[in-house]
Amino acid sequence: GESVGLHLPTLSVQEGDNSIINCAYSNSASDYFIWYKQESGKGPQFIIDIRSNMDKRQGQRVTVLLNKTVKHLSLQIAATQPGDSAVYFCAEKGSGGSYIPTFGRGTSLIVHP
């Protein structure tokens, strides 16, 4: 079946370091990917998205890289801050015209001051 998964359930970094969160997907027909951040007690918050016709997209302190050859997605956070501590989800838009994203299980990012 189609799935979206994350390699690491927990990532601990020091404040100021760069963080990389990885995600694998299995549906080669997926054409849109999204990263969400979920802080404790809150709903997921959109961070950045990327379409399958792109390899890289940059936002403020975040970069998403897409490798369609190996079906891998990563989120890079520069100069990680304590406020970045949260669970990060990747999601893929369903194929075949479905507007329903499939979410991975999530990676918990812990930033130590």
Residue ranges that bind other proteins, judged by CB under 8 A? 4, 32, 34, 36, 41-46, 49, 51, 89, 91, 93, 97-106
Q: In this structure, are residues 76 and 91 in contact, taking their beta carbons and an 8 Å threshold? A: no
Q: In this structure, are residues 95 and 31 in contact, taking their beta carbons and an 8 Å threshold? A: yes
- SS3 assignment, position 95: coil
User: At closest approach, how far in Å is the CB of 19 from other proteins?
Assistant: 20
User: At closest approach, how far in Å is the CB of 35 from other proteins?
Assistant: 12
For residue 11, what are the contacts with CB-CB under 8 A and spacing of at least 6? 19, 21, 107, 108, 109, 110
User: At closest approach, how far in Å is the CB of 4 from other proteins?
Assistant: 8
Q: Which is nearer to other proteins, 73 or 91 (CB)?
A: 91
Alpha-carbon distance 25 to 38, whole Å? 20
Q: Which is nearer to other proteins, 96 or 113 (CB)?
A: 96
Q: Which is nearer to other proteins, 69 or 98 (CB)?
A: 98
Give the amino acid at 52. S
User: At closest approach, how far in Å is the CB of 82 from other proteins?
Assistant: 21
